[in-house]
Amino acid sequence: MKPDTQHRAGRILVVDDEEGFRDGVADLLSMEGYHVTVARNAVEAVSLLPEFRPQVILLDLRMPLLDGETFLRGIRGLPASSEVPVVLISAKEELPAIASRCGAAAYLSKPFEAPQLLSIIERVLA
């Protein structure tokens, strides 16, 4: 862990069905000092919410079983996640409109660079 990030705090839930992407983001955030848990899909993420209690959710839009937009709308009624900021991540061209419609805290278009992700997370946690 880098010395300047040792005191970073924040629980982040990464929800994405692409294993390489999900694990890469989780590794990056862990190296930056965040506590990270991953979910392979939105259904798995729902089961993790009450115990993990994330402070930020990074959410892919295109997933099997339950898409990110439906997941985001659904968790707003749950006590463990009603106020948790969600960052939508997708390659969809209409991502800004979807983020606005769903009340996402931010969005990030794939592909992106690590500094972009870290900047958004710092902003949403502030």
Dihedral of alpha carbons 30, 17, 88, 94, sign: positive
User: Per the domain annotation, does 125 fall within a domain?
Assistant: no
**Residue at 115: amino acid letter:** P
User: Per the domain annotation, does 37 fall within a domain?
Assistant: yes
Dihedral of alpha carbons 28, 38, 23, 17, sign: negative
User: Per the domain annotation, does 31 fall within a domain?
Assistant: yes
User: Per the domain annotation, does 70 fall within a domain?
Assistant: yes
User: Per the domain annotation, does 122 fall within a domain?
Assistant: no
Most confident of 6-20, 43-57, 59-73: 43-57
Is pLDDT larger for residue 2 or for residue 43?
43
pLDDT at site 8:
62
pLDDT at site 68:
86
The domain spanning residue 43 has which CATH number? 3.40.50.2300
Total domains in the chain come to 1
User: Per the domain annotation, does 124 fall within a domain?
Assistant: no
d(CA 126, CA 99): 19
Dump pLDDT digits (tens) for 92-104: 889 999 999 988 9
User: Per the domain annotation, does 123 fall within a domain?
Assistant: no
How much is the pTM?
0.89
d(CA 119, CA 121): 5
Which residue range(s) make up the domain with 102?
Answer: 3-117
- 3-state secondary structure at position 68: helix
* Residue 2 pLDDT class (50, 70, 90 cuts): very low
